[in-house]
Structure formats: structure tokens, C-alpha cells
Amino acid sequence: MNAKSFFWFIVLCAVLWGLISLVYFFTGGFYWDAPGLIFGLSSIPGQILLFALGLSLLAGLCRFMGPKAVVAGCTAFGGVFTLFFLLDAFVFTQYRFHIGLAMLELFFGPAGREIFVFPWTTYLLLAFAIAVVFALVYALTRLARKITWGKRAIWAVCILWLGAFLVYNGVHAWGKFMMVPSVLAQVSYMPWANPMSANRRLRRMGFEPKAEPYSIPKQGSLNYPLAPMQCKTDKPLNILIILIDSWRADSFTQEVMPNTWQAYKNSKDAFYFTNHLSGGNATEAGMFSLFYSMPYLYWDSFTSRQQPPVFMQQLQNQGYQLGIFASSKLNSPEFHQNIFASVPNLRIESQGATKVARDLDIEQDFTAFIKQRSAQKPFFGFLFYDSAHGQEFPEGGDVFKPVGEQMNYLTLTKNTDPTPYMNRYKNSVHFIDGLIGQVFDLLKEQNLLDNTVIILSGDHGQEVNDTHNNFWGHNSNFAKWQTHVPLLVWWPGKQGKELAYRTAHYDIMPTLLTHALGCTNPPPDYSTGMDLFDPTPRPYTIISSYTKKAVQTGDKISVIDNYGYLEHYDENYKKLPSGADPKAISAAFKEFAKFYK
């Protein structure tokens, strides 16, 4: 096989993979508007180019072994790549994610038979498919040698292929910056896709995204909720959700948070869930898991369609007055395109040059909202404090000493003394505690404590080198310091107490929808969680970061990396030979496709 035939063989394989890739689009949905169509058409050859280069490198090495070795190498490696696309397409239709080394390790490992349960006919068809694939790829090597097109055709193909790659990345960079739904919805279709983005660079250049959102595409395959919501209540309760960004579970103490501690201890209707997990170790995943009660894997699908959670829809259907007050911007991450997409005149940002100033600003605006609201209608309030995220506190607020500088991740090591940084973090939480105390004073002053459900928690935790592996902050591992957060619930009319069984962010919305908004739908219709007040053991908890997903059962955590790695840990980030229960992993995988048609 000469160089020309080798090139056409790569092209033929790419065409075959492109045909297989149509399965992703039949599964996820086609988009026929101009941006969606251009991105969809260019993403197939654009992403396949990377696989083609990989095949060229591997099969090309066989050229040093002789002509026959080239044909054998093309058949072997081409068959493996083609099998990957076939298997990946099958997995995508079942679970809506792509396979990697981690999936293969799970499949062929000792727990594989418990995680992936298929009838024997599936394995029979797989064996037949393998034989057919290698025969087909060998036929492509024969066909490639019969193609007589010369250099002009080769150059034309190369230019078109490279052009598709550039269009694919360019349209994505533009679509992500401008929040074009039909572009964002298709990003995860192709395996291992990571097209270019340039949001920060474009903002530094002075560009700003489109002010008005693009229209929501009708195409797609979301099936949410699984059944129409049936909700009605004669005595609506006010609902207030307070979140503290980066709130560690062990920072809820009388010393660090005296006002909140007193509000909990002095209330007969306060619950403290001491074993609570966020659905993520970063803000996007933590917020998404709380409001949608489903894994972060659905983020792109809901964001691209500007589909709010059923909780927000029911609040609006029942006439709640909405007061959404976040210290950090609600368009970065794009909560204005998912969680709060249906909120009119959404307050996107706060005033102030520091996190402290912005936290004070949301406190002031929330106070005005409460005082100016109509007493004839219930209200929903959302307060999201940010000072703890940056370990900021006002001048003179250094209650805990010695205090270190703000974390400079470039200078920190695993041998750095964490005490000054931990004290700085405690001071920031202590400052927020003072603001929360003012919230309770305001509600008491307005006679609202007896008819307001209050949820107080964090979006994720915060590590200060607790694992002694030089992890500072969050979104770096799934140890308990980054995933466990406090959860306190004040519920008028209920007898409060401390509860030690495992709960998760996924449980919050089913509880509010059932007990506060009068929804009779079973939680599986719209969530992956269950009632907070139900002590039935949770079989597993799904936790996500920006690049990883984990399944936790008890103290065991199986971490699946988007780049193909599978590792097992306990909650202290110690490696284990085995991880979460295989049956739990199997059930968790089904949740990734539950709300697709």
C-alpha cells in the first residue's frame, strides 16, 4: 500500500465513522436553524479529524515493517477505531455519555457483569459485529488501492477537512460566547469533543455577548418532567433558600457562626442534617443538583433549551413573588439560561468592587424586597453569599488569628501551614453569619418566621490541604471536605431535630415540591432524589466536577474521569482497591439518560 492508497484508506474510514456518528444526532436531536446546522455538519468531520490523525500515526508506523504489515496494521487499527465508534454510539444511546478507558475498565473488570447487564443475544451480536467490522475495514484497504485520484483531489480533501475543523471550533467559540442554544446542545454529541472556546479572551477584547437570549430550539430529546406536574396547596408557605459559596461542613459551629447556631438551637422547628452531600464539588454542579435534583451531566441540555427546573415553574404557576439575590453574577456560570431562565427582570449582578461589598448589596436588596412585597401573596427568596469563596471579610473582622493572605495557589505546597488560611476562611464565614443573623431578625420583625420554610446550605465545600496532598479550594477531588456541606431546614409546624442519615442536594426539591407546593407526583417524575425527611438509605449519590463524575456508596467513591481514568477513594481521599457498589454504579448510569426520550 503506497502513500496515496494509505491516505484514501484514512478518508474511507473517516466516512464510515461519520455515518456511524449520525446515531449521536438521531439520539440527541437535530437542529435546523443556521448556527445549529452549520455546527452539526462541521462537528462530524471536525471531530473525526482527530481520530483520523490517530489512526494515521498508529497504522503509519507499520510502514517500517513492509507493505504487507501496512495492510495488516490498517485493518487492525482501523477495525479497533471503528469498533470504538460502534460501541460508543451504543453506550451513548443508552446512557448519554461516551466511553473511555474508565468505561472499558468497568466493563471488563470483576464488577462489569453487575454494572452492565445485557442479554446473551447482545454478546452474540457483538461477536458477529466484530467479525463484520474487521472484514469491512479490510475491504476498505482493497478499495483504497483502486482509487486513482491524484494530488489535486488529495489537496482538495485536506483543505475541506481542515476547513470543517476550523468552522467546527470557530462556530463553537462564537456559540458559547453568544449562548446559542442549538450550538451548545450539540457539543456533547461527538465522542471526546472539546472544541475551542474564547469567552475570557473575547471579553478582554471588549466584546459582550448578546443581551437578549436566542430562541429556544424545539428540537431535542429532553423528557422532563416524565409526567405533568400535579400541584396545588391551600396554605402556601413562603420559601427562602440561603446558600453560602464554599461552605465547609465543619464550619457550622457556635464559635464560627454564633447567629446561625442560635437561630438553630432556639427554634423548635429547625432540622440539622449532619451527613449531607452536595451534588458537586464546584458551583455549577452544586447549584444544578440542588435546583434540578439531577446530575450535572444534564447541564448542557437544560442550558441550551433555557429549560428551568419544575420547582421554579411551580413557584411562578402558584403566583409566588420572586426575589433572586446573588452576590456573584448569575450569567457566569449561566444560571440565567437554566435555573432562572423563566424569571422576568432577573437581577443579574450586584454592586460592589469586592465580595464583601456585593454580599452587603444583596442583603440590602433582599431587605427592600421583603418590606415592599405584597402580603397577599407568598414569596420565594434566594440569597447566595460569596465572601467565603474568596475568603474575604471586612476590615476589623479578623476574629480568628493569625490570618494569612488570600490563597495564591502558585505558592502553596502540601507542607504549607494551613492554619492562617483556615482562619481567613473562618473569618469570612463569620462575616456571612452576621448577615444571616440580620435575615432572621428581618423575618422576625415582619412576622414571617411562622410561615416561611428556610433552607440553609452550601453549593460545595472548601479544602484547605486537609488531605495533605496540596489540594486547596475545590473542584479538585471528591474528598469530604469538598463535597460535604451543612444543611439546616426551618419548617414551621414540624418538630425539628438533628438527623444523621445520609442526604444529598438531590433531596431538597422533592421535599419542597411535596410538602410546600402540594405536588402529588412521585419524586422520580422529576428528580433523582427523595424526601429529606425519609430516613430510607440512599443507594448512592452522584457527585460531579467540571471534568469528572463520581458515584459514592457509604465511604467508597468511584471516580470516572472524562479523559478515561477510573480510580477509587474513600472520603479522606485515600486510594482503595475497589470503589462504590457495582449495582449502585449501574443504577447511577441509568440516571444519566432518565430524562431523555
| Same domain, yes or no: 251 and 163 | no
| Same domain, yes or no: 429 and 520 | yes
| Same domain, yes or no: 177 and 115 | yes
| Same domain, yes or no: 129 and 260 | no
Domain assignment of residue 223, yes or no: no
CA atoms within 13 A on the CB side of 505: 33
Domain assignment of residue 577, yes or no: no
Rounded Cα gap, residues 180 and 169, in angstroms? 14
Rounded Cα gap, residues 574 and 385, in angstroms? 32
| Same domain, yes or no: 170 and 264 | no
| Same domain, yes or no: 23 and 94 | yes
| Same domain, yes or no: 299 and 394 | yes
**Cβ(282)–Cβ(510) below 8 Å:** no
| Same domain, yes or no: 156 and 289 | no
Domain assignment of residue 265, yes or no: yes
Domain assignment of residue 594, yes or no: no
Range of the domain at 144: 3-204
In which order are the strands placed within the sheet that holds 566-569?
Answer: 541-544, 548-553, 556-561, 566-569
Q: What are phi and psi of 160, to 5 degrees?
A: -65, -40
| Same domain, yes or no: 88 and 192 | yes
**Cβ(378)–Cβ(318) below 8 Å:** yes
| Same domain, yes or no: 371 and 265 | yes
Domain ends where: 511, 538, 565? 538
Domain assignment of residue 158, yes or no: yes
Domain ends where: 155, 189, 204? 204
Question: Residue 102 has what pLDDT?
Answer: 59
Rounded Cα gap, residues 370 and 321, in angstroms? 10
Nearest CA to 249 out of 433, 457, 422 is that of 457
CA atoms within 13 A on the CB side of 195: 32
Question: Residue 112 has what pLDDT?
Answer: 55
Cell numbers at residue 187, please?
457539543
CA angle at 446 for the pair 444 and 449, rounded to the nearest 5°: 45
| Same domain, yes or no: 179 and 294 | no
Rounded Cα gap, residues 336 and 32, in angstroms? 24
Per-residue pLDDT of the chain (597 residues; tens, 9 = 90+): 788 999 999 999 999 999 999 999 988 888 888 888 999 999 999 999 999 999 999 998 887 777 778 899 999 999 999 999 998 888 788 777 787 665 666 666 655 555 555 566 767 877 888 999 999 999 999 999 999 998 999 999 999 999 999 999 999 998 888 878 788 878 888 998 889 988 777 777 777 666 555 555 544 578 999 999 999 998 999 999 999 999 999 999 999 999 999 999 999 999 999 999 999 999 999 999 999 999 998 998 898 888 999 999 999 999 999 999 999 999 888 899 999 999 999 999 999 999 999 999 999 999 999 999 999 999 999 999 999 999 999 999 999 999 988 877 667 888 899 999 999 999 999 999 999 999 999 999 999 999 999 999 999 999 999 998 888 989 889 999 999 999 999 999 999 999 999 999 999 999 999 999 999 999 999 999 999 999 999 999 999 998 789 999 999 999 987 655 678 899 999 999 888 888 888 888 889 889 988
Question: Residue 589 has what pLDDT?
Answer: 84
Domain assignment of residue 213, yes or no: no
Residues 6+ apart with CB under 8 A from 160: none
DSSP string, 270-323: EEEESSEE-SBSSHHHHHHHHHH-S-GGGHHHHHHHT---HHHHHHHHTT-EEE
CA angle at 565 for the pair 559 and 568, rounded to the nearest 5°: 35
Rounded Cα gap, residues 483 and 543, in angstroms? 8
Domain assignment of residue 563, yes or no: no
| Same domain, yes or no: 128 and 30 | yes
Return the CATH number at 484. Answer: 3.40.720.10
Does residue 453 sit in helix, strand or coil? strand
Domain ends where: 515, 538, 561? 538
**Cβ(103)–Cβ(559) below 8 Å:** no
Domain assignment of residue 597, yes or no: no
Rg (CA), the chain: 27
> Considering its fold, how many domains does the chain have in total?
2
**Cβ(442)–Cβ(383) below 8 Å:** no
Question: Residue 212 has what pLDDT?
Answer: 54
DSSP structure class, residue 27 = H
